[in-house]
Amino acid sequence: MMKLRPATERGHANHGWLDSHHTFSFADYYDPEHMGFRALRVINDDRVAGGGGFGAHPHRNMEIVSYVLEGALAHKDSMGTGSVIRPGDVQRMSAGTGVTHSEFNESKTEGVHFLQIWLMPKAQGMAPGYEQKTFPESEKNGKLRVVASPDGRDGSVTIHADAVLYAGLFREGETAELPLAKGRHAWVHVARGTATVNGKVLGEGDGAAISDEGSVRVEGKTAASAEVLVFDLG
């Protein structure tokens, strides 16, 4: 069974410096039908104008993954970590007992487009932590490459949640299939482009919840690559 979440039905907030679409309830956007899916709590599709950003703010007991699509995002936190996240990078911040961080567009003139993803942790009160890795396009072309997992498999970042995150780039005719173990579920998010997922066409920003199916099959639809994220969830 697959239930679509069209991009046009997402929550939307435009603050001038920030244009954000919310797949699930977040901040002032509340929809009791879309409070998350399994361990997946937030997918915010954020575009931050040049010079804009989120000042220092706290988080607690959440696994936060940042995935940059265009531009560069500067990160600083109370653990002493400072970095710049660019396309191909995946950053994981475990908020645990509490962490404060800021995120700003590194450029004063060009926009940055990124996904902010929150996952419910397996346990409360863990020590805060941070990790960032780069996954080149060559590892994602025509395939689903694991980029975040509970055991850090295949060089992925380690998340303390019942979730495995895959990312792939698919041109027309390129396909990949991800088996789902019995009792597992999947959420698919098309970050950009157009792809067919289990026989249904999804465009940029569209999502889909998948349950009681044996696999997730992704196929590109156009000459330009579709960028697709797949979450394998308990």
CATH code (residue 202) = 2.60.120.10
CA–CA separation, 72 and 41 (whole Å):
24
State residue 76's pLDDT score.
Answer: 82
Residue 19: C-alpha distances to residues 44, 119, 195 (Å): 10, 22, 24
Beta bridge mates, 77 = 101
Which domain does 170 fall in, by range? 138-233
Output the pLDDT for position 152: 97
Out of 134, 156, 181, a domain closes at 134
The answer to whether residues 148 and 122 belong to one domain is no
- What is the pLDDT, as a whole number, of residue 205? 98
Number of domains in the chain: 2
Rounded to whole angstroms, the Cα distance separating 73 from 185 reads: 31
pLDDT of residue 54: 86
**Per-residue pLDDT tens for 94-138?**
999 988 888 989 999 999 999 999 999 999 999 998 999 999 999
Co-location of 159 and 73 in the same domain: no
Domain membership flag for residue 223: yes
Cα 198 vs. chain centroid, distance in angstroms? Answer: 20
The answer to whether 134 touches 104, Cβ cutoff 8 Å, is no
Does residue 130 share a domain with residue 204?
A: no
User: Is 205 within a domain?
Assistant: yes
Claim to verify: residue 127 and residue 27 sit in the same structural domain = yes
For residue 49, tell me if it sits in a domain.
Answer: yes
pLDDT at 59 over 90: no
Q: How many CB atoms are closer than 10 A to CB 142? A: 15
Q: What pLDDT, on the 0 to 100 scale, is given for residue 206?
A: 98
| Same domain for 60 and 172 | no
User: How does pLDDT run across 142-172, given as a tens digit for each residue?
Assistant: 999 999 999 999 999 999 999 999 999 999 9
pLDDT over 90 for what percent of the chain?
Answer: 88
198 pLDDT exceeds 90? yes
Last residue of a domain, one of 105, 134, 163: 134
Establish if 5 belongs to a structural domain.
no
The pLDDT of residue 40: 98
Contact (Cβ atoms closer than 8 angstroms) between residue 184 and residue 233: yes
Residues 33 and 84 in one domain: yes
Same structural domain, 191 and 226 = yes
| 21 and 102 assigned to the same domain | yes
Does residue 108 share a domain with residue 170?
A: no
Residue 71 pLDDT > 90: yes
Last residue of a domain, one of 134, 151, 181: 134
Q: Say yes or no: 64 and 94 in one domain.
A: yes
Residues 34 and 23: beta-carbon distance below 8 Å: yes
pLDDT of residue 145: 98
pLDDT in tens, 74-95: 988 788 888 899 999 999 999 9
d(CA 42, CA 64): 9
φ, ψ of residue 153 to 5 degrees: the values are: -60, 150
Q: Does any domain span residue 2?
A: no
